Each structure stands twice: as structure tokens, then as C-alpha cells.
Amino acid sequence: MIKNHEIMKAITAVIISMLIANVWASTVTYLDSTTATPETKENDDDDPWYMWILIYPGTKWCGAGNISDTENDLGSAHETDGCCRAHDYCDDTITANATAHNLTNNAPFTLSNCKCDDQFYACLKKADTSNSRRVGRIFFNYLGTKCFREDYPVVKCTKSIYFPRYKCLEYEYDTTKDKKYQWFNVPQF
């Protein structure tokens, strides 16, 4: 018998696939309309081709790494890009397949301390542009991103959502035990 969570997982996989395809198609269109393509950029040996595909259109910092020439180099979606740049400079992260704070990051991308993700969320909300809203939905709602922080041990999830993917929104904690670093779901955008 198929359970509700299995149906939700299947629907989520389809939506994420469509989202990635749309972002990729938009990126290719964006790259075709700019002069800064991997073929014409002077130092293209420093930028792997996939960096150009996995950067949100109109930005240089939103996605896998960055394609900026300098720290102050922002894309045409400068408000959104500024938020992504600030997030990239988070001082407490765990890279893919690395361990810190007694936590191992099994995700294929870097995960940040929850305070950095909270600041990223607030920055994107404050920017309030179509690009900042899209980047916010991708990062916070669709990617399944987690963050870490030191808190009392989680006993259970008390409030969750299942769409576009399962996410715990509120937790019950055991305040009789010492705080420890743990993984948490990022907020819904």
C-alpha cells in the first residue's frame, strides 16, 4: 500500500526536476545574452563549466561557488546577489563530506550555521524582488537544505510540512540535558 509520504516524495522529485530544468534553461538563455560566457572570459580556465550552469541568472554569487571577478563584483540582480555574497562569507560552515562540531555533512554542498541562514533569509525578504523571492524559494523550500546550531537535544518534531518536501518547522527539546550541535531544517520561505 502506498503511503502519503511516498506520494509526497514522488511529487517532490518531479517538482524539483522541473525546477532544475527551468533554472538550467534560464541560465543557458542568460549566458547566451551576455558577453561573459566561459568561451569569451579571459581566465576561463579558473571557472569550471558547471559553475556557469549552477549560478542563478543575473547573479554571480547565488549557486555553486561564485563567478565574480572581485569581492565587489555583483550581477545585474545586485540586491539578491549581495545577500548570496554575504551568505557565502558565513564564518561557520561544514563543507560537503566534512565533519565539524561532531556533525558530518553528507549533502553535496556546504551547510551553514543556522544564524547565517537566518541572516540570508532576512536579507532576501528585505530585498523583496522577483529574483530574491525565487532564490529564497529554491534555497529554503526546494533544495532540502539544513543548518546546524547548538541547542538542547531535540525530542521530536511538533510541527511539519510535507510540500514541496518534508520539513520540520518546530521542535520539542529536552531542556534537562546539555546543549549540543544538531541539524535543523531551514525555515520555509
DSSP conformational letter for 95: -
φ, ψ of residue 60 to 5 degrees: the values are -125, -5
Specify whether 117 is catalytic. yes
Active-site residue flag, 87: yes
Q: Which of 117, 118, 151, 178 is catalytic?
A: 117
Q: 45, 87, 101, 118: which one is catalytic?
A: 87
Residue 32 exposed, middle or buried by CB count within 10 Å (0-12, 13-18, 19+): exposed
Give 133-174 as a DSSP string.
Answer: HHHHIIIIIIS--EEEEEESPEEEEEEEE-SSS-EEEEEEE-
| Gyration radius of the chain over CA positions | 18
Helix (H) or strand (E) holding 112: strand 111-112
One-letter amino acid for residue 23 of the chain: V
Which residues form the catalytic set? 87, 117
